[in-house]
Structures are given as structure tokens and as C-alpha cells.
Structure 1
Amino acid sequence: MGRRALLGVGGWLAAAVLTTIAVVWAVSLIGTDITGPAARPMTLEEVERALATASAVPSVGPPASAGPGSQALGFSYAEGSVTAACDAGRALLLSWTPAPGYGVDDVERGPAHTASVVFESDDRKTTVSLTCRSGTPVATVRSAVEHDED
């Protein structure tokens, strides 16, 4: 092989290597924009942080059938939040949101003498009961520690 052939092969290899490097660099700059944003699962900490910063209870007004003195009130606890109003002297649960680590086990929305929601975690069950006094919602909270039966 002559010197000219070696220079040709060497030049071709150098061009191939430089082209490969340039393509890899260009693709890394583009990132996931070619196929859209990358989807990855959130970690537990990211989920808890997002839930903690989210608005727990939407802003709502009293139901249309409530009297003029009726008002919606929000109640927040470590286990969750509720918004309630009174409808003709009966409790009406408008919204409920469990805190991170809790779920909703049972809901009695009303209107009824007593409306309620049960927030439950792995080891705790909390019942928020709502009644009406003079057209204003009043909350009562009852918590119990649950034991695993293994």
C-alpha cells in the first residue's frame, strides 16, 4: 500500500470519527425534543411535595338551596381537608381531600343531620363528622390507631 492510499484511508477514518462525534453531540443538544418530553415516574418524595403544595380545598360557595345566613366553611387537619355548608339546617359535605399518605374510606355527603368523611392511612383512621348549628357547619374529629392483625 502506498503512502497515498494510507493518507486516503486515514483521512476517511478521521472524517468518519469527526462526523460521528458531531452527530452524537448534536443529538445530545436536541435531547428529547425529537420525540417529545421524556416521561419518567415521580419518586415518592416528588409526589408528596407536589401534593403538599397543591391547593387542598377548592374555593366554593354555599349551595343554591341554602338560606341567606348559610356559609361554606373549610376545615383542615393533618389527615385531610373538608369544605361543608348547611342546607336547610342539614350538613352538606361540598369537598374532601385526603392528606399525603391518607385515602378516603367512606363518605356520607348529605344533606343530612350528620355528614361525614373517613380518612384512612396504614395505621390511622380519622372520621370528620359535620353538623349544623344556627346555619353554620361544625366539625367533630375522631381518630383511632389501627393495628395490623398479622
Structure 2
Amino acid sequence: MRRRAFLGLGGWLAAAVLTTATGTWAVSLIGTDITGQVVRSMTLEEVERALITTSAGPAVAPPASAGPYAETGNFSYAEGSVTAACDAGQALLLSWSPAPGYGVDEVERGPAAAVSVVFESDDRKTAISLTCPSGKPAATVRSVTEHDED
């Protein structure tokens, strides 16, 4: 009887050790993706750095052609680029893309007499306004200060 109890206890301990080892191994795999690379969460600083250094695509796909618009214009600046169209005296912002290190703060797409996009970096905000004074898109660029936003 004693021998049977000893073998039962030994079998139970062996199963417990094997289960613990298997569980520990499985938990260690959680930090690894299917390719074997270690996966970890990014810190807020790493996310911000990645967003600043990644070039964003246009917020709206640029037109394949001028389409129904009378005139279109493309404008590129250090802060980003925009494509606008004019039709019947109204401006329409077709696409916008911030330069690396910039994001988009505000967009007034139109159609309207004037449309705009504000590109923003950590230390700078720049507004690009577009109008159609002679039926063709014309751009005006200005730095935005805290006073301008009030």
C-alpha cells in the first residue's frame, strides 16, 4: 500500500512539473510572433517619433485627371503639398500631404471662396490658403501663431 501511494505521489509530482514547464514555455512564446521575432509594445515617445519620421500619404487621393474642374494646381512647400481645383470661382482642396515631421492640424476643404490646410510640427504651424482669383488656383502661405488661433 505504501509503495502504491509513493508511486501515485511521484506520478502526480512528475505531471505537475511537466505541466509547469509546458506552461512556462507557452507563456514565453507570447512575447514572440509566429516568425520568431520578439514583439513588444511601443512607448508613447517611440510612437510619436515614428509618426514624425514617417511620410504620410495624401489625406484624399489626388485626381487621376482634372476631371470636371476647370483648373487644378499643385503646390509644394517645406511643410507639405496640396492640390486644389477651381470651378465657377470656387476653390476645392483635392489632396494634401504633410512633409516628414509635420502633421495636419486643420482642413477646410470647400468648395468655398477660400480653402485651407494647416500643417503642424512640434515647433511650427503653417497655413496654406487657396483661392481662385482668376479661375486658377493661387496659394498663400503664412505662419500661424497662438494669437492667430484665438
Q: TM bucket by the smaller chain?
A: 0.5 to 0.7
Give unmatched runs, 5+ long, in structure 1: none
Write the mapping of 1:1-150 to structure 2, written as runs, cut at 5 A. 2=2, 5-26=5-26, 28-29=28-29, 43-50=44-51, 52-57=54-59, 58-60=61-63, 61-62=65-66, 64=68, 66-67=69-70, 70-71=71-72, 73-96=73-96, 102-105=103-106, 107=108, 109-112=110-113, 114-119=114-119, 124-132=124-132, 135-146=135-146
- Kindly state the Cα deviation for residue 98 of structure 1 after the two structures are TM-superposed: 5.4
Moved segments of 4+, more than 6 Å: 30-33
Q: How many residues align?
A: 138
Q: C-alpha distance in 2, partners of 1:54/1:108?
A: 18
Q: Rate the CA distance shift 1:133–1:14 in 2: closer, same or farther, 3 A.
A: same
Distance 2:107 2:57 in 1: 22
| Alpha carbons of structure 1 residues 4 and 138: separation in structure 2 relative to 1, 3 Å | same
- The Cα of 1:97 is off from its aligned counterpart by 5.0
Residue 86 of structure 1: how far off its partner (Å): 1.8
TM-score, normalisation: structure 1: 0.58
Preserved contact between residue 128 and residue 140 of structure 1 (Cα < 8 Å): yes
Structure 2 CA distance for partners of 1:16 and 1:123, relative to 1, 3 Å = closer
Change (3 A) 1:140 1:62: same
Unaligned stretches of 5+ in structure 2? 34-38
Give 3-state SS (helix, strand or coil) of 1:10's partner: helix
Question: Normalising by the residue count of structure 2, what TM-score does the alignment of the two structures yield?
Answer: 0.58
What secondary structure sits across from 1:126 in the alignment?
Answer: strand
Are residues 98 and 104 of structure 1, via their aligned partners in 2, closer, same or farther at CA, if it must alter by over 3 Å? farther
Aligned Cα RMSD in Å? 4.1
Distance 2:119 2:55 in 1: 19
Compute the displacement of 1:146 (Å): 3.4
Shift in Å at residue 121 of structure 1? 6.0
